């Protein structure tokens, strides 16, 4: 029997789609692979990935649960997304969204935009006043989403550093004990914060959840929802700021155009979201399980089969995006990318993420027009052991 391709695929570049992923996409929309110790279907083309993201026959939970080699980090992620029990997933996930979606109101996003822009200006002022080389990751990419999620949840800014490090440790797949310890610290902290906000509420999500449903939610339920907001709205944005900076540094003509016309920042953000795949693509695969048979082309995905939806490959697919590899701020009415998913699990925090990224990229290269890497790009290290991937350091000079 022919050996199945093994995910993750090696990639000689730190950005973009692995050559083997591209080759499989050329051959067809779906193929059998090995991923995380189990056979799975890998779907790589835009139309098929988008359709399956919206297909309710695919879910996060496994309809045939069995002992798994998956990491503790992966288990925590699935549980926070209400995907750890196939019998209750649909109801619990719908309730989770019903409680969280109203928290991301137009009014709150407008207020958050003002705060975020203020944070970005302060961080860039401090960065510009530093003697290069400076670590952009520590100076901008890490603190901004941390401050934003602290504002959103009502976490004191003095606690943001440890709060952020706990969040990062939770998704570390290299050490199950470390992941479990840091996740427990997040749970303990958030539970204690909820108890404090019952006495002294503020203008934040946790305080609103305390008042929701006539106060019927328990501290544990509110902390669980707060932890989901933290862990899914924090690390992913950090990664996108780093990737976006690298993409713009790789594309000097587009960078110059953006510096000249900051009104193109929203278009730059969409290209960053579309093309922002790092390392072996750990941040660009969405795992699912089939809860009934599904036909894709001439292939039948059977009930219980694992499916990997390659949103990164789909976002590069030339069938959906002419010259899909090109970073182009002037694309004419491009299709909506899949970086935030699609369908029932479409990212709740996508508007906030866009606000953060737009605030960064309409300012960064105007404030620091000579910004460049202080080390060879190939020396940057993508963190394969984290579910979200990412870098721990981006040395720059200016």
DSSP assignment string, 266-305: HHHHHHHHHH--BTTTTTS-EEEEESS-EEETTEEEPTT-
pLDDT number for residue 166? 81
Name beta bridge partners: 33: 40
Whether 11 is covered by a domain: the verdict is no
Whether 50 is covered by a domain: the verdict is yes
Count each helix (H run) and each strand (E run) in the chain, helices first: 17, 10
Quote the domain boundaries for residue 178.
19-397
d(CA 56, CA 262): 40
d(CA 214, CA 388): 36
User: Which of 150, 154, 149, 143 shows the shortest CA–CA distance to 121?
Assistant: 143
d(CA 205, CA 154): 7
Whether 7 is covered by a domain: the verdict is no
Whether 93 is covered by a domain: the verdict is yes
pLDDT number for residue 70? 72
Contact call for residues 307 and 52 (beta carbons, < 8 A): yes
Start-to-end Cα distance in the chain: 55
The total of other beta-carbon atoms located within 10 Å of residue 40's CB is 23
d(CA 94, CA 99): 9
Work out the burial of residue 177: count CB atoms within 10 Å of its CB; fewer than 13 is exposed, 13-18 middle, 19 or more buried.
exposed
Contact call for residues 238 and 141 (beta carbons, < 8 A): yes
pLDDT number for residue 67? 59
Distances (CA, A) of 165 to 34, 136, 239, 325, 334: 32, 17, 14, 33, 36
Name beta bridge partners: 226: none
User: Which of 264, 278, 228 shows the shortest CA–CA distance to 92?
Assistant: 228
pLDDT number for residue 43? 98
Helix, coil or strand: residue 395: strand
Whether 5 is covered by a domain: the verdict is no
Q: Which two tokens stand for residue 22?
A: 């591209």
d(CA 228, CA 16): 28
Whether 6 is covered by a domain: the verdict is no
pLDDT number for residue 168? 81
Contact call for residues 288 and 303 (beta carbons, < 8 A): no
Whether 3 is covered by a domain: the verdict is no
Q: Which two tokens stand for residue 217?
A: 């939610």
d(CA 269, CA 158): 29
The total of other beta-carbon atoms located within 10 Å of residue 9's CB is 18
Contact call for residues 43 and 52 (beta carbons, < 8 A): yes
d(CA 117, CA 53): 33
Write out residues in the chain with pLDDT < 70, as ranges.
Answer: 1, 67-69
Whether 309 is covered by a domain: the verdict is yes
pLDDT number for residue 161? 80
Contact call for residues 89 and 81 (beta carbons, < 8 A): no
Total number of domains constituting the chain: 1
CATH of the domain at 99: 1.10.630.10
């Amino acid at each position: 029997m022919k050996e199945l391709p093994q995910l993750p695929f090696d990639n000689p570049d730190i950005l973009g789609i692995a050559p083997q992923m591209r080759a499989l996409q050329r051959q067809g929309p779906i193929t059998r692979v090995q991923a995380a110790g189990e056979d799975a279907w890998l779907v790589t083309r835009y139309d098929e990935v988008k359709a399956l993201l919206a297909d309710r026959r695919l879910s996060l939970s496994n309809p045939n649960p069995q002992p798994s080699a998956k990491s503790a980090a992966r288990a925590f992620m699935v549980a926070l997304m209400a995907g750890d029990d196939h019998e209750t997933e649909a109801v619990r996930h719908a309730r989770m969204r019903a409680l969280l979606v109203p928290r991301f109101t137009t009014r709150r996003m407008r207020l958050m935009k003002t705060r975020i822009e203020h944070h970005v200006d302060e961080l860039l002022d401090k960065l510009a006043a530093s003697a290069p080389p400076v670590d952009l990751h520590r100076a901008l990419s890490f603190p901004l989403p941390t401050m934003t999620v602290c504002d959103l949840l009502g976490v004191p800014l003095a606690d943001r550093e440890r709060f952020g490090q706990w969040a990062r440790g939770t998704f570390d797949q290299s050490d199950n004990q470390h992941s479990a310890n840091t996740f427990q610290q997040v749970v303990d902290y958030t539970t204690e914060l909820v108890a404090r906000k019952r006495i002294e509420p503020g203008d934040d999500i946790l305080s609103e959840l305390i008042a929701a449903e006539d106060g019927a939610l328990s501290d544990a339920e509110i902390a669980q929802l707060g932890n989901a907001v933290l862990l899914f709205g924090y690390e992913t944005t950090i990664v996108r700021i780093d990737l976006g900076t690298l993409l713009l540094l790789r594309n000097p003509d587009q960078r110059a155009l953006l510096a000249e016309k900051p009104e193109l920042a929203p278009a730059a953000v969409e290209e960053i979201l579309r093309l922002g795949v790092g390392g072996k693509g750990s941040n660009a695969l969405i795992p699912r399980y089939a809860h009934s048979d599904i036909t894709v082309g001439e292939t039948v995905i059977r009930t219980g089969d694992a499916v990997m939806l390659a949103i990164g490959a789909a976002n590069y697919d030339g069938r959906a995006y002419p010259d899909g590899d090109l970073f182009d701020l002037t694309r004419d009415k491009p299709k909506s990318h899949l970086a935030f998913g699609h369908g029932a699990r479409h990212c709740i925090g996508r508007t906030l993420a866009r606000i953060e990224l737009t605030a960064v990229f309409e300012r960064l290269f105007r404030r620091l027009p000579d910004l460049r890497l202080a080390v060879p790009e190939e020396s940057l290290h993508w963190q394969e052991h984290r579910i979200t991937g990412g870098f721990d350091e981006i040395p720059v000079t200016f």
